[in-house]
Structure 1
């Protein structure tokens, strides 16, 4: 019998994030700091709108691109928060989470052999999505001494005549790094000069702690060459609703919608009605949750300092990325022992690319009570292995 499986798919590694999540879910008294999921319930007024939509029998397909009312509200949000103008009818799509939007954008833009620049450490989906589109992912190593920012020179070092797309994952998962307007202007200069398009993953745009988020699409000359990805999971605590969106020039969006209509049809209807309420009346919820994350961020960094863990200060998302290089073990070995000996789950940095080796991703999207207990256990572990 011939092999029924695709060689391309077989060669893709499983997510390093889920490995530890699956183990800790069956371990008694374990605490997970590994999953990037808000511990807040979806705000009640948003849930209520979802419930109301079901009570009203709004259980049918929407248009492929999503409910018109939601696309209009997304346009209003992008104008209000970023000063960007998009047309709801041909430049916005509602997707099944931000991850689907990433996949759609890459498949719509990449031909076999096209090169895609992927800064790392970064979210685990980018490189597999490029591989599934038969493109060639080209990692760019982000450096701790640069606070894990992407620089103009790092891009120029990796560009070839086959480079078509740059993934711009900021605020960054797993490092928490952010880019300011000056950083983005320098990157935009390269993209325009070299005729490169950008996939800007801004799912953590509302979770920044050192000023307002700036999108590269705001930089002159970049809106027409940028696919902006965002969603509802992180900012509105709506992970299980599985809803994201993309904003892009019509010529790109037309092809994204084509793929979406064959693969998905439309995003969940109930979730879309809830998202309309989130967009209209959720700003205060986002502000409240962001303030809580910032409090937890400061607490985590303080505890790292007390226990002697080196960590640059992250100003975005809800992750810290401490270095464990001085302990002489791999990130996978460290995380495995920590889980076995202290029942605390974190994600090895290697899960986010080879240059993530020597680091851990620790999420602070958990209650202060859980953080205090988990970091206390981590400190005990650090003291013990330091004495070995």
Structure 2
């Protein structure tokens, strides 16, 4: 057996982050820059925006064994909540080739009833991949768990490890809610943006924050400043679930969000994606709440259709508004702005045969379905070798 050697984790290995900070022990990838992190408005977003959705290490190696040391933090409802191992994954040419488990040691104690945000420190962990049987050097991507904040501490292998090459695939930046963050997926490569990116061959930066796709200005500015060949935004369900806006505020907020992105990306294709099917708030207003009569989590609407008549938002209303806003902006000259109806990714007929397990979030089957459909409807057109050059999608 060849002994393992330590290799430096280089900044150039880290993909899917907008900023990387150096600690006394290692590197931390971030999906918001420091100035934006200082503007985060609540403790829940502090954790969810720090999680590693879509973040991975791009490496080149002929190793048979790879070990990654981490200090990981996961949200918990108490200081002693037990965790199952988090899933770390290796992919090659868009296909999973190995996975390894490592349990997050640190807890971020939070419930909506008691939102303390207390950090309870815990031990480091090691994800070990073995039996890779490469024999020759190849490019791999090592995906971090989408629900963990991860500090990268050390990398060992039985063959040299260097930063993977950066190919000419388009850079796709996506922003969305917990659905795009990946909650209820069984692993990071099962979250729909990663499914789509791997299928189509795009470089993904996933700026999706569970519970916090709220048209926040600091998120728009982050997207504005992030290099991209394609941008997509999928916003709506969090606004309804939190009853955060009325129609009067929503309309200019959407325009302002898009205007800010356009400041940094005047010619980049932008796809506005409306929400997928969610029966409780299709025609009724939010907020969404947990059904007190069910023994398991089950989402219902607290608002009504009458509330929508008074200016509150439903999913049908949001879809109509997005379609109208995109049509108006295209008529005003933004021909690289595009609307995608979220029901084409997951609609009522899909819900009849593939229901959402909590009446709100997609399970692993629907996460994969959405990713495959988004790749077919948007990404494949953009990334196909015979397609127009990056930036030409209209």
Structure 1 length as normaliser, TM-score?
A: 0.28
More strand by share: 2
Which is richer in helix? 1
Q: Structure 2 length normalisation: TM-score?
A: 0.28
Structure with the bigger RCO (C-alpha within 8 Å, sep 6+) is 1
